[in-house]
Amino acid sequence: MRTKKPYLIRAIFDWCIDLGFTPHLLAAVTDKVLVPKTYQSEEEITLNISTQAASKLLLDDDAISFTSRFSGISEQIYIPIENVKGIYAKENGEGIFFDINEQLKLKTNSIKKVSQVSSKKPYLKLVK
């Protein structure tokens, strides 16, 4: 089953833009994320993803990517959806925040369900 996370991210982004707010993205920084290392703090980074700050913005089902300038230098940004911790409006702090371990929990539960189903022995029942 597909996660609803990318849809919620796009919805909050659109909401921010429609109301004239500045959408900010909070993401966990791991080896899968491509961001300027000098701007991250405590394993996470907050990025302005407004149309003025982020060019070539792509809010995809698998990742968020765009180009932005940091201290005058153009940088390519890539953040997998599972690394997104939240998206919110800078002006009022309203938005949505995610448990980034959600997908891991879902995968673990799916594995448990499969193993429970496969551990049952088949049986036949006589129906008259």
Residue 27 pLDDT > 70, yes or no?
Answer: yes
For the stretch 47-70, what's the b/e string if a residue is b when 16 or more beta carbons lie within 10 angstroms of its beta carbon?
A: bebbeeebeebebeeebbbbebee
What is the rounded distance in angstroms from the CA atom of residue 14 to the CA atom of residue 100? 22
What is the rounded distance in angstroms from the CA atom of residue 84 to the CA atom of residue 29? 9
Please state whether the predicted TM-score (pTM) of the whole model is above 0.85.
no
The pLDDT assigned to 106 comes to 55
Domains contained in the chain, CATH given: 5-100 (2.30.30.220)
pLDDT in tens, 35-44: 987 877 778 9
Closest CA to 47 of 74, 81, 84, 17: 84
Lowest mean pLDDT among 19-28, 72-81, 89-98, 102-111: 102-111
What is the rounded distance in angstroms from the CA atom of residue 26 to the CA atom of residue 88? 8
Mean pLDDT of the chain: 85
